[in-house]
Amino acid sequence: MDTLIREFDVALRAIAGATRPDRDNPADRLAPDTEQMTAEERRHVAGLMRINHVGEVCAQALYQAQKLTARSAPVRAQMDAAAREEEDHLAWCAERLHELGSRPSLLNPVWYAGAFAIGWLAGRTGDRVSLGFVAETERQVEHHLTGHLDQLPAADGRSRAILEQMRDDEIRHGNAASDAGGLPLPGPVRALMRAASRVMTTTAYRI
Render each residue's pLDDT in the chain as its tens digit; 207 residues: 555 556 655 665 666 666 778 889 999 999 988 888 999 999 999 999 999 999 999 998 999 899 989 999 999 999 888 888 889 999 999 999 999 999 999 899 999 999 999 999 988 999 999 999 999 999 999 999 999 999 999 999 999 999 999 999 999 999 999 999 998 999 998 999 889 888 889 999 888
pLDDT at 83: 86
Residue 129 resides in a domain: yes
Which CATH number goes with the domain that contains 74? 1.20.1260.10
Per-residue DSSP letter, 105: -
What's the pLDDT score for residue 47? 96
Cα distance between residue 14 and residue 8, in whole Å: 10
Distance of CA 144 to the CA centre of its chain: 11
Q: Is residue 66 part of a domain?
A: yes
Range of the domain at 147: 40-204
pLDDT the model gives residue 137:
93
- The predicted pLDDT at position 6 comes to 65
Is 119 within 8 Å of 65 (Cβ atoms)? yes
Q: Which pLDDT score, from 0 to 100, does residue 170 have?
A: 94
Task: Classify residue 1: in a domain, yes or no.
Answer: no
Q: 58 vs 15, 51, 168, 186, CA distance in Å?
A: 10, 11, 18, 22
Query: Has residue 130 been placed in a domain?
Result: yes
23 part of a folded domain:
no
How many beta carbons lie within 10 A of that of residue 159, not counting itself?
28
Q: Tell me 36's DSSP state.
A: G
Q: Is residue 25 part of a domain?
A: no
Specify if 67 maps to a domain.
yes
| End-to-end CA separation in angstroms for the chain | 35
CA distance 183 to 129: 5
How many structural domains comprise the chain?
A: 1
